[in-house]
Amino acid sequence: MSASFATVQPSVRARATLRSRARRADRSSIVVRAGSAAQQKGLGDLDTVKLTAADGSTADVYLFGGVVTSFKPKGGDDVLYVRPDAKFDKSKPISGGLPHCWPQFGPGAIQVHGFARNVDWTLVSTTDGDEPSMTMELTPNDYTKAMWDKDFKVTETVTLKGGALEAKLVVENKGKEAFDFTGSFHTYLSADINAAAVGGLNGCKTLDRLAEKESTVSGDVKFQGPIDSVYYGVPETLTLATGKRTVSIKSSKTWTEAVVWTPWTDMEACYKEFACVESAAVTPVVVAPGGSWTATTTISA
């Protein structure tokens, strides 16, 4: 073959240089996306914060009621459920997601489930990065003082971390006298009610609030009618088999009880689509002057 048609082969050193340049080019084309916390307007033009993690998981938090209304893990459907009759006009609490029952769980001296879900919370901060988060707080106002004249500050930090949603609640006593409260995260979870089952409660004592009857749980809790039950001596982690996946609800020990609730046919339009598995403090919590109480709920699927 003549020299003019010969193929010129690069040297070993030249080939190594080309490979090195190609690797650098490949790395330079990779976009590392950090998580973010963005203030937005939600339904009803209400103020919200949207958390987006680097893995693509998201959460939506409404400042009215301080409620997380959505948590979507990477590539998944919403773990939380918002009822179709939910109002986003401040006329009533937002029905669904991760709403507050505070400073009273259930009926009692003040309105059912307290006032924290009925009022605007104040946005304190947002944090971008690997674990995007937002922090909001609730302090006394004329509306709360009319029902519960205590000097308090409640802070909630919502974080996306490790593919999970973490909600951390801190209650501080800013007054000169001790106060007590009860409360819960009234967690609505998307589920096929006919296939749903709560795991982790086997052997726990329970109070059926509908039948006013105490008993001991045997096996998983399944949904065959209305349930409004408190469970005592609960483990750190409960699960909800939804018919599509298994959701984990991990509660700090400061949530001393758990609550399972379904309205059944009292909410004919939607009861088949969700179940509530709640981190709760049904036994009153006493906070001394200058003291605080902290509780955390982590949801993953």
Would residue 186 show up in a list of annotated catalytic residues for this protein? yes
- What are the CA-CA distances from residue 4 to residues 8, 223, 228, 244 (Å)? 10, 83, 89, 68
3-state secondary structure labels for all residues of the chain: CCHHHCCCCCCHHHHHHHHHHHHHHHHHCCCCCCEEEEEEECHHHCEEEEEECCCCCEEEEECECCEEEEEECCCCCCCECECCCCCCCCCCCCCECECEEECCCCCCCCCCCECHHHCECEEEEEECECCCEEEEEECCCHHHHCCCCCCEEEEEEEEEECCEEEEEEEEEECCCCCEEEEEEECCEEECCCCCCEEECCCCCEEEECCCCEEEECCCCEECCCCEEEEEECCCCEEEEECCCCEEEEEECCCCCEEEEEECHHHHCCCHHHEEEEEEEEEEEEEECCCCEEEEEEEEEC
* Active-site choice (166, 172, 186, 257): 186
Tokens of 103: 């400073």
Scanning the structure block, which residue is given the tokens 């029905």?
A: 95
Would residue 113 show up in a list of annotated catalytic residues for this protein? no
Residue type at 227? I
| Positions marked active-site | 186, 278
